[in-house]
Chain A
Amino acid sequence: MLRRLSLMCLTALAVMSAAQAAPRDDILAGYAAQAKADDAAFAGFSAARGEALYRNPHRGGKPDTPSCTSCHGDNPRAAGRTPVGKAIDPVAVSAAPTRYTDPAKVEKWFRRNCREVLGRECTAREKGDWLAYMITQ
């Protein structure tokens, strides 16, 4: 009886800690499937490519926001700032553990911000790379 109870507690704990990561894994899996469909040679996401996407200046978007860092800042673990001055929660998972757990919210902001910075929507690979980088941060 006692053993069964402790097993149940352990299971509950494991489920609770996984609860935050599970939706993020689902989002990543969705992007991976799409990236594979876009390019058969796709071999997984890369945090290094994600960091380059985050830091590099891009062309095609708005001149006042050439890169992700224009608003999110050089340090993804620190708060960013919108052009009108409102603080943005950090984008690194370690600093904002609830980020990237709501697929609709993730898609909404990729759509808006990629258009803003790149002048186009991001590909599934780019979105996955971004997530891969932010998960390591």
Chain B
Amino acid sequence: MTTLIRSIAVGAALFAAGAVMLGRAKAGSDEYFPPVSDPLTRQECGSCHMAFPAGLLPARSWQKMMGELDHHFGEDASVDAATARQITTYLVAHAADSAGRGDMRGWLRGVSAATAPQRITELPKWVREHREVSPGDWTRKEVASKANCVACHVDAERGYFEDD
């Protein structure tokens, strides 16, 4: 009986500790960005590269990008008008500067409100977070480009970008 109670207690303690750690990882950490939850956005924005979390750019950046999909970083990524509208709505609602996302504002530190940055990898915060990555690592065959988050952040598709 005591064994049973003890195992229940240990289990509960472990669960609580896990919940606290998960909560900490999720709330306001620089390492968790909620993954794209809209299936259409996930599919359309996740064909050529990972569907980057909407919280990685401010709303004005997404709006500009969605208006220029026919030349998207040199590629034709255009979609029909209805699809573009739905994706834009999702991205804007979940952008780094959207309401209820106060904890993400640190991500935009150093970004002028007058600009609509397009490359996540040129945000001052992104550059700072990756300053320890050696130039040789970026050119490794399995990395291919800075847009390939999962090459190093194995759980990036689930929103976790901790150091791996």
State how many angstroms separate the Cβ of B33 from the closest Cβ of chain A: 18
Cα A115 to Cα B74 with chains together (Å):
12
Q: Which one, B46, B76, B79, B147, contacts A85 given CB within 8 A? A: B147
Does B7 have its Cβ within 8 Å of any Cβ on chain A? no
Cα A111 to Cα B48 with chains together (Å):
15
Q: Which one, B76, B79, B142, B148, contacts A84 given CB within 8 A? A: B148
User: Are A85 and B77 touching (Cβ within 8 A)?
Assistant: no
State how many angstroms separate the Cβ of B145 from the closest Cβ of chain A: 4
State how many angstroms separate the Cβ of A67 from the closest Cβ of chain B: 17
User: Are B49 and A86 touching (Cβ within 8 A)?
Assistant: yes
Cα A112 to Cα B145 with chains together (Å):
21
- List 19 A-B residue pairs with CB atoms under 8 Å apart, sorted by A's residue number: A62-B74, A82-B47, A83-B48, A84-B48, A84-B144, A84-B147, A85-B142, A85-B143, A85-B147, A85-B148, A85-B151, A86-B46, A86-B148, A108-B79, A111-B76, A112-B75, A112-B76, A115-B76, A116-B75
State how many angstroms separate the Cβ of B25 from the closest Cβ of chain A: 25
State how many angstroms separate the Cβ of A34 from the closest Cβ of chain B: 20
Does B50 have its Cβ within 8 Å of any Cβ on chain A? yes
State how many angstroms separate the Cβ of A96 from the closest Cβ of chain B: 14
State how many angstroms separate the Cβ of A42 from the closest Cβ of chain B: 28
Residues of B within 8 A of A (CB): 46-50, 74-79, 142-145, 147-148, 151
Cα A82 to Cα B75 with chains together (Å):
12
Cα A34 to Cα B32 with chains together (Å):
50
Residue of A nearest to B146 (CB): A84
Among A69-86, those with CB < 8 Å from B are 81-86
Residue of B nearest to A64 (CB): B74
User: Are A86 and B76 touching (Cβ within 8 A)?
Assistant: no
Residue of A nearest to B78 (CB): A112
Residues of B close to A115: CB separation below 8 A:
76
User: Are B145 and A85 touching (Cβ within 8 A)?
Assistant: yes
State how many angstroms separate the Cβ of A64 from the closest Cβ of chain B: 10
User: Are B76 and A83 touching (Cβ within 8 A)?
Assistant: no
Cα A86 to Cα B47 with chains together (Å):
8
Q: Which one, A62, A81, A83, A112, contacts B77 given CB within 8 A? A: A112
Residues of A close to B147: CB separation below 8 A:
84-85
User: Are B50 and A86 touching (Cβ within 8 A)?
Assistant: yes
